[in-house]
Structure 1
Amino acid sequence: MSDYTVKALGPDTWDAFARMAERHNGVFGGCWCTWFHTFQAEKTFTAEGNRALKQRLVDEGRAHAALVFDRDEAVAWCEYGTPEELPNIYHRQQYEAELDRLPDYRITCIFVDKKYRRKGLTAVALRGALDLIAETGGGVVEGYPHDTDGKKVSVLYNGTRSHFEQAGFSYVRPKGTKNCVMRTEIP
């Protein structure tokens, strides 16, 4: 893993992020990793609109991610942010009904370039996000990974319960039928 470096998503790393997203058709049909950022008010429904939205959020400091680099090429990311920055989580109604404490940060999306999958980069990206959160003062961090009951399953956007357990997260409760709430505290 020493061949990879992690950098924060920002205006200075936007072009590398954009190249990776473009290699994957804007990711998930043109989402550009905007799904968790917005409700209807800001949401766009085109790849071009989502790209512009994501770039604007990055420029405004409202979009955060740990980008994993192989030399100068971004090859994975882990999106994180405050609940205000990432309000649109799956199974939100159930989540809010069972809420015991709002986290300081959420991890909502982990993506690995198709040429780099099965090389441990989900763990590198997740650890990178936690390190960047620590640099900003830390706090309670939640993730909402797939709970695969220990089965090996291909997961494209948010990792598995075992990924989060290996990164020091504890299981809190189920969320929906195949996801769960996991939590850790970063000093």
Structure 2
Amino acid sequence: MTIEVRPATVFDDVATLVGPKNPSSNVCFCLSYRIGSKENVALKGSARADRVRELCHQDPPPGVVAYLDDEPVGWAAVHPRRETSFARNRLIPHIDDLDVWSLWCFRVRPGYRKQGISHALIDGAVAYARERGASAIEGYPVDNGGEKVNPTMAYVGTRALFESAGFVKAADTGSVLDGFPRVLMRLDLGASTTSSKKA
């Protein structure tokens, strides 16, 4: 099984992975951290889809997509932190002045889970950020200590997932999700190698 991770430039593939089931809904499309909260709340229905379509045509696009035999099976949101709401988030600390990228959301389609797609997504996001010149990349997963995380809250990833890709804990955060603290995990992209461990 070969999983290929590509920049999220195809709107239909992004919509398949993170679009709401109800096209008139004002949720998901992975916009809550990508754009300002005021705009995020205001966007509804087709306007929300149009905004995501616009982001897919920007450089860089809003994330990466994992493909299995050209079928979109997974999504990861990754983008320069300065262009996300993490730039202003009071619960997620800035540990230095590096122009880092943020990796904050994972989605794997039902029927394709537990096949290593999340690991492929994190590796692909890291590779893309490095290719685009990022000095470091960070994520904000839950530190669940191996305990079960509610699937609807698991989109941020787990500390173990990030550690498997070579990230290390850089700081605590003030954020809690599903009863678990979120931690700031950081990977210096100046390093020559990263883990390619798959599960």
| TM-score, length-scaled by structure 1 | 0.83
Q: Can you give the 5+ residue segments of structure 1 that lack an aligned partner in the other structure?
A: none
**Correspondence 1:69 to 2:64:** no
**Correspondence 1:180 to 2:180:** no
Instruction: Please state whether the residue corresponding to 1:117 is helix, strand or coil.
Output: coil
Letter in 2 for 1:184: L
User: 8 Å contact 2:26–2:48 — kept in the other structure?
Assistant: no
Question: For the structure 1 residues 136 and 184, does the alpha-carbon distance in structure 2 shift closer, same or farther, using more than 3 Å as the test?
Answer: same
User: 8 Å contact 2:108–2:117 — kept in the other structure?
Assistant: yes
Q: Give the total of aligned pairs.
A: 180
Which of residues 107, 118, 126 in structure 2 aligns to 1:130? 126
Which of residues 99, 102, 109 in structure 1 aligns to 2:105? 109
CA–CA separation in structure 1 for the residues paired with 2:117 and 2:34: 23
Question: For the structure 1 residues 24 and 72, does the alpha-carbon distance in structure 2 shift closer, same or farther, using more than 3 Å as the test?
Answer: farther
Question: For the structure 1 residues 161 and 182, does the alpha-carbon distance in structure 2 shift closer, same or farther, using more than 3 Å as the test?
Answer: same
| TM-score, length-scaled by structure 2 | 0.79
> Post-superposition shift, 1:24?
5.1
Query: What does residue 7 of structure 1 align with?
Result: 6
Query: What's the CA shift string for 1:38-83, capped at 9, x where partnerless?
Result: 1145323424332111111222225331210011211101111112
User: 8 Å contact 2:86–2:92 — kept in the other structure?
Assistant: no
Q: How does 1:166-177 map to 2 (within 5 A)?
A: 166-175=164-173, 176-177=175-176
Query: What does residue 135 of structure 2 align with?
Result: 139
Which of residues 28, 51, 54 in structure 1 aligns to 2:52? 54
Query: What's the CA shift string for 1:2-55, capped at 9, x where partnerless?
Result: 422111111xx22222233348557x9731011111114532342433211111
Bigger Cα displacement from structure 2, 70-79 vs 13-22? 13-22
Letter in 1 for 2:73: V
Query: What does residue 35 of structure 1 align with?
Result: 32
CA–CA separation in structure 2 for the residues paired with 1:84 and 1:166: 26
